[in-house]
Amino acid sequence: MGKTLFDKVWDAHVVDTLEDGLQVLYIDKHLIHEVTSPQAFEELRKRNISIARPDKIVATADHNTPTVDQHLPVKDELSRNQLNQLAENCKLNNIPLFGLGHENNGIVHVIAPELGITQPGMTMVCGDSHTSTHGAFGTIAFGIGTSQVAQVFASQCLLLQKPKKLRVNVNGKLKSGVLPKDVILYVISKLGTNSGTGYFCEYAGSVFEDMSMEGRMTVCNMSIEMGARGGMIAPDETTFEYIKGRDFAPKGEEFDQKVAYWKSLKTDADATFDQEYWFDAEDIQPMITYGTNPGMGIKITENIPELDDASFEKSLKYMNFRKGASLVNQPINYVFIGSCTNSRIEDFRVAATFVKGKQKATNVTAWLVPGSQRVAKQIKDEGLQSIFEEAGFQIRQPGCSACLAMNDDKIPEGEYCVSTSNRNFEGRQGQGSRTLLASPLVAAATAIEGKIVDITQN
Amino acid sequence: MEKFTTLESTAIPLPIENIDTDQIIPARFLKATNKAGFGDNVFRDWRFHKDGTANESFVLNDSTYSGSVLIAGNNFGCGSSREHAAWALVGYGFKVVISSFFADIFKGNALNNGLLPIQVSEGFLKELMNHIQSNPDAEVTVDLENQLLSTPVGDITFDINPYKKTCLINGYDDIDFLVSKLDKIRAFEALIN
Ligand code: SF4
């Protein structure tokens, strides 16, 4: 029987298989950040174990960092302490760190691909659930808890049960104005937030083949929001072209050899999946969420569903929305374009194209937070910065920012925020905040109009 | 890690679905660099109003219910991979969580911290939840060796990976195991390089 893309990469990394089926899986790259690593370093210190392969670890500061005045000492004492601890741990253990202000600094899932660290056929982990992003390259990439961070530190391996396999196929041509974010919000709205639990997902079909690498990252990023540990897309010419020439990518002959191997990373025609779904590109429209989990999404032109279910009602109550209502014309005071889902240059290009020559609505506070220093530089170099600034948007410095609101970038209680991030959980963007997930295009249009608009009418 | 063998306790019902780890421990409490103290902030924004006063309608503030077993709605622990959620539940005093479905990463994190997730059918969960809601003094018993959950609405066996079971019973974790495999891992590295 044939193998899937996932099988091929997984099986190539199995060090050992135990009697009850658990496997020791070798990890090629371990990404770390300040929030989920300190307790793992501490654990190793306590047991007097040294880090097995510091050369396979890359560190960045992103979750708990300010997005203004990054050149000044971090004001919040606890945050500063956490960042210092990361720097100290990296120094002690010879781990490369792209700290605050470094030209390679940014959100962990933005910098690793843009630096060429993420490559097809690898296994990658990080103490962060959106590690699934890197699956866009045909990489097995998934989030882990801090105990597992310590395990990888100690052994460069994890003890795991091989997940089941799921494939999501989307074929056809996307309508204009429909972005990769809409595709994944649509899929999750159809399948629900736990449909992927226990599975690793492969995205296949012409929609993903036609997508840019950045679009594929947006899709794979949200795999975890349907419960899947990770999502993957088979590497192709688009992938190789993207990687070529990046700082940490293989060069010259080595690159060609790698490409020859990467080309073999495709699901065989006779391989089977434990679960498979099919969707039509033509059915997808610009999406928005109305509830408190990412599966609660609708087309902007649709009305909120009418369900009799206690958890559903609790969610609508939190959002202060009514069953059966339309979201079009809903006033919005906050817009956030950022996060590891949508903070790459293409996201800002799309937003800038819409914003150019317009003014944001006076009621709106609009934050643009680039995913990395490099993206920030690109925004400037391509002239997008002046478009946004002239329209009244605030461009901040890179980091996770209002995606999880660990720093000062918080949405006030009761306020709505149209956000390009990935989670609309209660209080995710600040205590009492209400998040509506959408694409960068929908977010930009909301900022201009000060309310939700049906962009399909433009 | 603390050993887990058997437990007899009253239970706390939390009939909400899709409880994500942001609710279990909000991000603003993730600035610590050790594992202590998270229990104080478990379910923080459901337990307390913004002004810091207790939300009397939340079950953890209702003295009728107590115990080290949490009974929660479907898809418990989804969202962020933060292990702080497991630390917070353990820190508060929970030893067992019963639900009809657990998110992957949470389940692994729980097991790595001596917190036992027990998955039951949706029907059983509903019956148990209803019973405990109206009989707060009712007790449940967990016997890990025999994988047996005994409750007033019936006794059932539950699944757990045999290796993970041994770890819990003995208080071992995966680090001990993986370090014992280092020779094999080195040999594998030599092969792939
Ligand atoms: S941007 Fe948001 S989702 Fe992405 S890594 Fe940061 S906190 Fe996590």
Best residue of B78, B111, B192 to probe chain A, by most A CBs closer than 10 Å: B78
How would residue B1 be classed by pLDDT, with cut points 50, 70 and 90?
confident
The answer to whether residue B105 neighbours chain A at the CB level (below 8 Å) is: yes
C-beta atoms of B16 and A314 within 8 A: yes
| Residues A16, A192: Cα–Cα separation, whole Å | 34
Nearest-by-Cβ selection for B31 from A64, A143, A147: A64
Residues of B in contact with A311 (CB under 8 A): 16-18, 73
Contacts of residue A65, defined as CB under 8 A and 6 or more positions apart, other chains included, come to A34, A74, A79, A83, A100, A399, A400, A407
C-beta atoms of B105 and A144 within 8 A: yes
DSSP for residue A73? P
Q: How near does any CA of chain B get to the CA of A58, in Å?
A: 19
Considering only residues 75 to 94 of chain B, which have any Cβ-Cβ distance to chain A shorter than 8 Å? Answer: 75, 78-84, 86
User: Which atom of ligand 1 sits closest to the CA of residue A343?
Assistant: 1
Which residues approach ligand 1 with their CB closer than 6 A? A 62-63, 107, 109, 128, 130, 339-340, 400, 403-404, 421-422
pLDDT for the residue B193: 76
Q: How near does any CA of chain B get to the CA of A394, in Å?
A: 23
pLDDT for the residue A19: 84
Helix, strand, coil percentages (3-state) for chain A, rounded to 5, are 35, 20, 45
Residues of A in contact with B181 (CB under 8 A): 15-16, 24, 155, 157
Q: How is residue A323 written in tokens?
A: 């069953």
What whole-number percentage of chain A has pLDDT above 70? 100
Considering only residues 13 to 72 of chain B, which have any Cβ-Cβ distance to chain A shorter than 8 Å? Answer: 15-18, 20, 22-23, 26-28, 30-35, 45, 50
What is the SS3 string spanning A333-356? CEEEECCCCCCCHHHHHHHHHHHC
Q: Residue B24 in 3-state DSSP? A: helix
C-beta atoms of B174 and A47 within 8 A: no
Q: Residue A441 in 3-state DSSP? A: helix
How would residue A208 be classed by pLDDT, with cut points 50, 70 and 90?
very high
| pLDDT tens by residue, A59-116 | 999 999 999 999 999 999 999 999 999 999 999 999 999 999 999 999 999 999 999 9
User: What average pLDDT does the segment A401-428 reach?
Assistant: 96
Q: Residue A211 in 3-state DSSP? A: coil
C-beta atoms of A431 and B45 within 8 A: yes
C-beta atoms of A36 and B188 within 8 A: no
C-beta atoms of A406 and B112 within 8 A: no
User: What average pLDDT does the segment B66-95 reach?
Assistant: 97
> Shortest CA distance to A150 belongs to which of B108, B170, B27?
B108
Per-residue burial over A355-365, b = 16 or more CB atoms within 10 Å of its CB, e = otherwise:
beebebbeebb
Q: What is the ipTM of this complex?
A: 0.94
pLDDT, mean over chain B: 95
Q: How far is the CA of A300 from the centre of ligand 1 (A)?
A: 25
